[in-house]
Amino acid sequence: MLTVRAPATSANLGSGFDVFGVALERPADVVRVSKADETTIEVTGAGSQYIPEDPEKNTVGAVADALDAPAHIEIDKGIRPASGLGSSAASAAGAAVGLNRLYDRGHTREKLVPIAAKGEAVVSGDAHDDNVAPSIMGGFTIATDDGVTQVDASIPLVACLPDIVVSTRDARRVIPEQASVEQLVETVGDAAMLTTGMHRDDPELVGEGMYDSVVTPARAELIDGYEAVRTAALDAGATGVTISGAGPTVIAACHERNQRAIGSAMLETFAHNDVDAQVYQTRIGAGATVF
């Protein structure tokens, strides 16, 4: 048996819709794999009652099939489903890394990304790399049709998860079908600034580059209290705030010294909007780790 810790992730980061992603130091899923004649799945932990154990309906079943690696797969969920923290991607990433090692398939981490994305397609309907890439490779990742570019960044982050459910399908449904030239130019500039900030480990540049005027405002309507929480986090010292992935998690870039104040401000503001929440003081970290 092999055990893999697969980290939560935050995709998009505002200006990098369907392209940018980061691995978080916490929370994480723990995936255990052992060889078997056919694939079976056992799920425990956060939200496990909502996750199917049928291999045809679970992200890890598609991964095992793609690697031709039947196994008994145990998933201990540390990442709540429908959180905007790459819950399904973490399970798929953990399975891909673990089964690749267990069966000695010899794939590089980058080659495992599209394999894990096949598992993501089971849940979201499309094979996107923006969450599985950082969960496998760690750091800050840029995922395009030409492959994945990875940067070892270590920016402090605060992730606040409200007790709200936002489905990936609903979050994609509200995305505007058109954007102005001015918005496109602004987004390119912000994405370039964020990427430079990641290379420099500069929370100020990263925060400035998280602004987005196209996708984020539309998705914010699905999260009660988002604008107030964003303002409270900025007032408490965040350098930038946006929606993590499809939501409802709100993620803030910051300096480490401000993490506690930012987390408290976000929790208090959600509470003022009658929404329970939990907060993670975290940072950009490593990818899936085999034990």
SS3 for 282? strand
pLDDT band for position 125 (cuts 50, 70, 90): low
With DSSP H G I counted as helix, E B as strand and the rest as coil, what are the percentages for the chain, rounded to 5? Answer: 40, 25, 35
Instruction: Using the predicted structure, report yes or no on whether residue 144 has a pLDDT greater than 90.
Output: yes
Tell me the CA distances in angstroms from 77 to 16, 133, 246, one per residue in order. Answer: 27, 19, 19
Instruction: Using the predicted structure, report yes or no on whether residue 123 has a pLDDT greater than 90.
Output: no
- Other CB atoms within 10 A of residue 234 CB: 17
Tell me the CA distances in angstroms from 53 to 41, 73, 129, 169, one per residue in order. Answer: 5, 10, 23, 21
The rounded percent of the chain whose pLDDT value lies above 70 is: 98
Residue 127 is predicted with a pLDDT of 65
pLDDT tens-place string over residues 175-190? 999 999 999 999 999 9
Which of 164, 25, 29, 20 lies closest to 87 in space, CA to CA? 29
Element at 245 (helix H, strand E): none
SS3 for 128? coil
pLDDT tens-place string over residues 75-92? 999 999 999 999 999 999
Instruction: Using the predicted structure, report yes or no on whether residue 126 has a pLDDT greater than 70.
Output: no
Start and end residues for every CATH 3.30.70.890 domain found in the chain: 156-283
pLDDT tens-place string over residues 158-176? 999 999 988 777 888 999 9
pLDDT tens-place string over residues 203-262? 999 999 999 999 999 999 999 999 999 999 999 999 999 999 999 999 999 999 999 999
Residue 124 is predicted with a pLDDT of 66
pLDDT tens-place string over residues 2-53? 999 999 999 999 999 999 999 999 999 999 999 999 999 999 999 999 999 9
Q: What is the pTM of this model?
A: 0.95
Second CATH level (architecture) for the domain 156-283: 2-Layer Sandwich (3.30)
Mean pLDDT, residues 126-144 taken together:
92
Catalytic residues: 120, 168
Start and end residues for every CATH 3.30.230.10 domain found in the chain: 2-151+286-290
pLDDT tens-place string over residues 260-277? 999 999 999 999 999 999
The pLDDT mean for the chain works out to 95
Instruction: Using the predicted structure, report yes or no on whether residue 113 has a pLDDT greater than 90.
Output: yes
CA gap 82, 282 in Å, rounded: 19
Fold adopted by 2-151+286-290 = Ribosomal Protein S5; domain 2 (3.30.230)
Which residue, chain included where needed, has tokens 């964020």? 194
Backbone torsion region of residue 50, taken as left when φ is above 0, otherwise alpha when ψ lies between -120 and 50, otherwise beta: alpha
